[in-house]
Structure 1
Amino acid sequence: MSDFEQDHPLPQGELARQVTALPRDTNGFGDIYGGWLVEQMDQAGTATASRLAAGRVATVAIDRMTFMIPVAVGSQLSFHTQVLDRGRSSLRLLIEVWSDDPLSREQRKVTEAVFVFVAIDGSGRTRPLPPLNGLRD
Protein backbone atom coordinates (compact mmCIF):
# COMPACT_ATOMS: atom_id res chain seq x y z
CA MET A 1 0.00 0.00 0.00
CA SER A 2 1.36 3.42 -0.90
CA ASP A 3 1.46 6.72 0.98
CA PHE A 4 -1.39 8.01 -1.21
CA GLU A 5 -3.65 5.07 -0.25
CA GLN A 6 -2.93 5.47 3.46
CA ASP A 7 -3.44 9.24 3.50
CA HIS A 8 -6.52 9.46 1.26
CA PRO A 9 -9.17 6.72 1.52
CA LEU A 10 -11.33 8.60 -1.03
CA PRO A 11 -10.56 9.52 -4.66
CA GLN A 12 -8.21 12.48 -5.04
CA GLY A 13 -8.45 15.04 -7.82
CA GLU A 14 -11.05 15.41 -10.54
CA LEU A 15 -12.95 12.73 -12.37
CA ALA A 16 -11.34 12.47 -15.82
CA ARG A 17 -12.89 9.30 -17.25
CA GLN A 18 -15.31 6.45 -16.52
CA VAL A 19 -15.23 3.04 -18.21
CA THR A 20 -16.99 -0.27 -17.69
CA ALA A 21 -14.69 -3.31 -17.67
CA LEU A 22 -15.79 -5.66 -20.46
CA PRO A 23 -15.08 -9.38 -21.14
CA ARG A 24 -12.75 -8.57 -24.08
CA ASP A 25 -10.44 -6.76 -21.61
CA THR A 26 -9.85 -9.82 -19.41
CA ASN A 27 -7.30 -12.58 -19.08
CA GLY A 28 -8.16 -16.29 -18.90
CA PHE A 29 -9.11 -15.96 -15.23
CA GLY A 30 -11.71 -13.26 -15.89
CA ASP A 31 -9.67 -10.40 -14.43
CA ILE A 32 -8.92 -7.19 -16.31
CA TYR A 33 -5.47 -7.02 -17.94
CA GLY A 34 -3.09 -4.68 -16.14
CA GLY A 35 -1.91 -3.31 -19.49
CA TRP A 36 -5.48 -2.40 -20.46
CA LEU A 37 -5.84 -0.55 -17.17
CA VAL A 38 -2.59 1.36 -17.78
CA GLU A 39 -3.87 2.36 -21.25
CA GLN A 40 -7.08 3.72 -19.72
CA MET A 41 -5.06 5.64 -17.13
CA ASP A 42 -2.88 7.12 -19.87
CA GLN A 43 -5.99 8.26 -21.75
CA ALA A 44 -7.45 9.87 -18.61
CA GLY A 45 -4.13 11.59 -17.86
CA THR A 46 -3.75 12.76 -21.45
CA ALA A 47 -7.21 14.35 -21.33
CA THR A 48 -6.29 16.33 -18.22
CA ALA A 49 -2.74 17.17 -19.32
CA SER A 50 -3.73 18.32 -22.81
CA ARG A 51 -6.39 20.60 -21.33
CA LEU A 52 -3.87 22.15 -18.94
CA ALA A 53 -1.20 22.34 -21.65
CA ALA A 54 -3.72 23.81 -24.12
CA GLY A 55 -2.62 21.34 -26.77
CA ARG A 56 -0.65 18.24 -27.59
CA VAL A 57 1.15 16.31 -24.86
CA ALA A 58 3.24 13.15 -24.71
CA THR A 59 3.55 10.65 -21.87
CA VAL A 60 7.22 10.48 -20.88
CA ALA A 61 7.17 8.49 -17.63
CA ILE A 62 5.04 6.34 -15.38
CA ASP A 63 6.20 6.04 -11.80
CA ARG A 64 5.01 4.29 -8.66
CA MET A 65 2.46 1.92 -10.23
CA THR A 66 0.63 -0.02 -7.56
CA PHE A 67 -2.15 -2.57 -8.15
CA MET A 68 -4.26 -3.13 -5.05
CA ILE A 69 -7.16 -5.37 -6.11
CA PRO A 70 -8.18 -7.32 -9.22
CA VAL A 71 -10.93 -5.85 -11.41
CA ALA A 72 -13.87 -8.06 -12.39
CA VAL A 73 -15.89 -7.83 -15.58
CA GLY A 74 -18.75 -5.35 -15.23
CA SER A 75 -16.98 -3.11 -12.74
CA GLN A 76 -17.48 0.60 -13.32
CA LEU A 77 -14.04 2.23 -13.20
CA SER A 78 -13.52 5.90 -12.36
CA PHE A 79 -10.22 7.59 -13.22
CA HIS A 80 -9.28 10.59 -11.09
CA THR A 81 -6.38 12.93 -11.89
CA GLN A 82 -4.59 15.36 -9.61
CA VAL A 83 -1.71 17.68 -10.55
CA LEU A 84 1.27 17.01 -8.27
CA ASP A 85 3.79 19.28 -9.97
CA ARG A 86 3.97 21.70 -12.87
CA GLY A 87 7.27 22.46 -14.58
CA ARG A 88 8.18 24.68 -17.53
CA SER A 89 6.85 22.15 -20.05
CA SER A 90 5.86 19.17 -17.92
CA LEU A 91 3.04 18.05 -15.66
CA ARG A 92 3.24 15.32 -13.01
CA LEU A 93 -0.20 13.82 -12.40
CA LEU A 94 -1.38 11.33 -9.81
CA ILE A 95 -3.89 9.06 -11.53
CA GLU A 96 -6.10 6.91 -9.33
CA VAL A 97 -8.52 4.23 -10.48
CA TRP A 98 -11.53 3.37 -8.35
CA SER A 99 -13.97 0.52 -8.91
CA ASP A 100 -17.69 0.65 -8.17
CA ASP A 101 -18.90 -2.92 -7.81
CA PRO A 102 -22.42 -2.99 -9.30
CA LEU A 103 -23.57 -5.79 -6.97
CA SER A 104 -22.18 -4.66 -3.60
CA ARG A 105 -22.12 -0.93 -4.44
CA GLU A 106 -18.74 -0.87 -2.73
CA GLN A 107 -16.15 1.65 -3.97
CA ARG A 108 -12.54 0.45 -3.77
CA LYS A 109 -9.22 1.77 -5.00
CA VAL A 110 -7.81 -0.43 -7.77
CA THR A 111 -4.51 1.21 -8.63
CA GLU A 112 -2.60 4.45 -8.76
CA ALA A 113 0.46 5.80 -10.53
CA VAL A 114 2.27 9.04 -11.17
CA PHE A 115 2.36 9.92 -14.89
CA VAL A 116 4.57 12.63 -16.37
CA PHE A 117 3.39 14.45 -19.49
CA VAL A 118 5.32 16.98 -21.57
CA ALA A 119 3.73 19.63 -23.78
CA ILE A 120 4.92 19.30 -27.36
CA ASP A 121 4.46 21.34 -30.52
CA GLY A 122 3.43 20.18 -33.99
CA SER A 123 7.00 19.01 -34.69
CA GLY A 124 7.12 16.87 -31.56
CA ARG A 125 9.47 19.26 -29.73
CA THR A 126 9.00 20.33 -26.14
CA ARG A 127 7.14 23.61 -25.69
CA PRO A 128 6.36 25.69 -22.59
CA LEU A 129 3.06 25.27 -20.78
CA PRO A 130 0.71 28.25 -21.04
CA PRO A 131 0.40 30.58 -18.05
CA LEU A 132 -2.07 29.54 -15.37
CA ASN A 133 -4.31 32.60 -15.98
CA GLY A 134 -7.83 31.30 -16.02
CA LEU A 135 -6.86 27.59 -16.21
CA ARG A 136 -7.72 25.21 -13.41
CA ASP A 137 -5.21 22.76 -11.98
Structure 2
Amino acid sequence: MTEEPGATRRDPALRTLAMPADANPNGDIFGGWVLAQMDLAGAVPAAHHAKGRIATVAVEAMRFHKPVFVGDLVSCYAKIVKIGTTSMSVHVETWAERRLDGSEVKVTEGTYVYVAIDEEGRPRSVADQ
Protein backbone atom coordinates (compact mmCIF):
# COMPACT_ATOMS: atom_id res chain seq x y z
CA MET A 1 0.00 0.00 0.00
CA THR A 2 1.48 3.35 -0.96
CA GLU A 3 1.31 6.25 1.39
CA GLU A 4 -0.41 9.37 0.15
CA PRO A 5 -0.10 12.90 1.47
CA GLY A 6 -2.75 13.69 3.99
CA ALA A 7 -4.47 10.35 3.42
CA THR A 8 -5.96 10.46 6.91
CA ARG A 9 -6.30 14.25 7.04
CA ARG A 10 -8.59 16.57 5.10
CA ASP A 11 -6.47 19.58 4.20
CA PRO A 12 -2.91 20.67 4.89
CA ALA A 13 -2.49 22.91 7.93
CA LEU A 14 0.08 24.86 5.90
CA ARG A 15 1.19 25.02 2.28
CA THR A 16 4.11 27.08 1.00
CA LEU A 17 6.67 27.27 -1.77
CA ALA A 18 10.35 26.56 -1.05
CA MET A 19 12.30 29.58 -2.30
CA PRO A 20 15.99 30.15 -3.18
CA ALA A 21 16.57 32.29 -0.07
CA ASP A 22 15.76 29.20 2.04
CA ALA A 23 18.41 26.99 0.40
CA ASN A 24 22.03 26.08 0.97
CA PRO A 25 24.62 26.32 -1.86
CA ASN A 26 23.64 22.83 -3.10
CA GLY A 27 20.03 23.89 -3.68
CA ASP A 28 18.62 21.88 -0.78
CA ILE A 29 16.29 23.72 1.60
CA PHE A 30 17.73 24.21 5.09
CA GLY A 31 16.33 21.79 7.67
CA GLY A 32 15.67 24.71 10.03
CA TRP A 33 13.32 26.26 7.49
CA VAL A 34 11.40 22.98 7.24
CA LEU A 35 11.23 22.73 11.06
CA ALA A 36 9.81 26.26 11.25
CA GLN A 37 7.10 25.46 8.70
CA MET A 38 6.20 22.32 10.64
CA ASP A 39 6.02 24.31 13.88
CA LEU A 40 3.60 26.75 12.26
CA ALA A 41 1.50 23.88 10.90
CA GLY A 42 1.37 22.07 14.23
CA ALA A 43 0.31 25.26 15.97
CA VAL A 44 -2.86 25.43 13.87
CA PRO A 45 -4.75 22.51 15.48
CA ALA A 46 -3.11 23.14 18.87
CA ALA A 47 -4.26 26.77 19.06
CA HIS A 48 -7.69 25.78 17.77
CA HIS A 49 -8.07 23.14 20.47
CA ALA A 50 -6.63 25.38 23.20
CA LYS A 51 -8.91 28.24 22.13
CA GLY A 52 -6.15 30.72 22.81
CA ARG A 53 -2.43 31.26 23.15
CA ILE A 54 0.04 28.40 22.96
CA ALA A 55 3.81 28.02 23.11
CA THR A 56 6.01 25.36 21.52
CA VAL A 57 7.89 23.49 24.25
CA ALA A 58 9.42 20.48 22.47
CA VAL A 59 10.07 18.75 19.18
CA GLU A 60 10.15 14.97 19.51
CA ALA A 61 10.88 12.09 17.17
CA MET A 62 11.93 14.30 14.25
CA ARG A 63 12.92 12.47 11.08
CA PHE A 64 14.10 13.80 7.74
CA HIS A 65 13.27 11.30 4.98
CA LYS A 66 14.18 13.20 1.82
CA PRO A 67 15.48 16.67 0.92
CA VAL A 68 13.28 19.59 -0.04
CA PHE A 69 14.40 21.46 -3.17
CA VAL A 70 13.94 25.01 -4.36
CA GLY A 71 10.60 25.21 -6.16
CA ASP A 72 8.95 22.34 -4.29
CA LEU A 73 5.42 22.96 -3.06
CA VAL A 74 5.62 22.03 0.62
CA SER A 75 2.49 20.84 2.47
CA CYS A 76 2.34 20.11 6.19
CA TYR A 77 -0.42 17.91 7.63
CA ALA A 78 -1.01 18.17 11.38
CA LYS A 79 -3.03 16.03 13.75
CA ILE A 80 -3.33 16.16 17.55
CA VAL A 81 -2.26 12.77 18.88
CA LYS A 82 -2.29 13.40 22.64
CA ILE A 83 -3.92 15.88 24.99
CA GLY A 84 -2.64 16.37 28.52
CA THR A 85 -3.67 18.77 31.26
CA THR A 86 -1.92 21.79 29.75
CA SER A 87 -0.16 20.34 26.71
CA MET A 88 -0.94 18.84 23.32
CA SER A 89 1.25 16.63 21.13
CA VAL A 90 0.79 17.19 17.41
CA HIS A 91 2.17 14.84 14.75
CA VAL A 92 3.21 16.73 11.62
CA GLU A 93 3.97 15.13 8.24
CA THR A 94 5.55 17.21 5.53
CA TRP A 95 5.18 16.36 1.87
CA ALA A 96 6.81 17.98 -1.15
CA GLU A 97 5.35 18.19 -4.61
CA ARG A 98 8.37 18.19 -6.88
CA ARG A 99 8.49 21.14 -9.25
CA LEU A 100 10.02 19.20 -12.12
CA ASP A 101 7.78 16.14 -12.32
CA GLY A 102 4.85 16.78 -9.95
CA SER A 103 5.56 13.68 -7.86
CA GLU A 104 4.72 13.86 -4.15
CA VAL A 105 7.08 12.52 -1.49
CA LYS A 106 7.05 12.53 2.30
CA VAL A 107 10.09 14.57 3.30
CA THR A 108 9.81 14.89 7.08
CA GLU A 109 7.70 13.99 10.07
CA GLY A 110 7.84 14.74 13.74
CA THR A 111 5.87 15.40 16.88
CA TYR A 112 5.64 18.90 18.33
CA VAL A 113 4.48 19.62 21.87
CA TYR A 114 2.58 22.82 22.63
CA VAL A 115 1.43 24.20 25.97
CA ALA A 116 -1.62 26.39 26.36
CA ILE A 117 -0.70 29.63 28.12
CA ASP A 118 -2.61 32.49 29.68
CA GLU A 119 -2.02 36.21 29.13
CA GLU A 120 0.91 36.16 31.57
CA GLY A 121 2.53 33.23 29.79
CA ARG A 122 1.68 30.68 32.49
CA PRO A 123 0.41 27.19 31.57
CA ARG A 124 -3.36 26.78 31.63
CA SER A 125 -5.65 23.78 31.32
CA VAL A 126 -6.75 22.41 27.96
CA ALA A 127 -8.23 19.19 29.29
CA ASP A 128 -11.79 20.51 29.31
CA GLN A 129 -11.62 22.53 26.09
Q: After TM superposition, is the score higher than 0.5?
A: yes
Give CA deviations for 1:82-131 in whole Å, capped at 9, x if unaligned: 11111111111100100011321111000000001010001110001163
From 41, 45, 64, the counterpart of 1:44: 41
* Partner-residue secondary structure (3-state), 2:75: strand
Count of matched residue pairs = 126
How far, CA to CA, are the matches of 1:63 and 1:8 in structure 2?
25
For residues 13 and 49 of structure 2, the distance between their equivalents in structure 1, rounded to whole angstroms, comes to 13
Q: 1:83 to 1:110 in 2, by over 3 A?
A: same
Is residue 81 of structure 1 aligned with residue 78 of structure 2?
A: yes
Matches within 5 A, 1:95-134: 95-129=92-126, 131-132=128-129
Query: 1:4 is matched with which residue?
Result: none
Q: Quick check: 1:99–1:108 contact (8 Å CA) kept in 2? A: yes
User: What is the RMSD of the two structures over their aligned residues, measured on CA atoms?
Assistant: 1.6
Give deviations 1:1-29, integer Å, cap 9, x for gaps: xxxxxx98223435100000000000111
Alpha carbons 1:81, 1:93 under 8 Å: kept: yes
Moved more, 95-104 or 16-25: 95-104
Say if 1:21 and 1:73, in contact at 8 Å, map to a contact too.
yes
**Separation (CA, whole Å) in 1 of partners of 2:123 and 2:2:** 33
1:54–1:130 Cα contact (<8 Å) kept: no
Give 3-state SS (helix, strand or coil) of 1:102's partner: coil
Following the alignment from structure 1 to structure 2, what is the Cα–Cα distance between the partners of residues 8 and 96? 15
Identity, % of aligned positions? 38
Aligned: 1:18 with 2:12: no
Can you give the 5+ residue segments of structure 1 that lack an aligned partner in the other structure? 1-6, 133-137
Q: What one-letter code is carried by the residue in structure 2 that aligns with 1:103?
A: L
Q: Counterparts of 2:2 and 2:45 in 1: how far apart (Å)?
A: 21
Which deviates more, 121-130 or 60-69?
121-130
- 1:9 maps to which of 3, 11, 18: 3
Which TM-score applies when normalising by structure 1? 0.86
User: TM (normalized to structure 2)?
Assistant: 0.91
Structure 2: segments with no counterpart, 5+ residues:
none
Contact residue 12 and residue 75 of structure 2 kept, 8 A: yes
Q: Which amino acid aligns with 1:70?
A: P
SS of alignment partner, residue 15 of structure 1:
coil
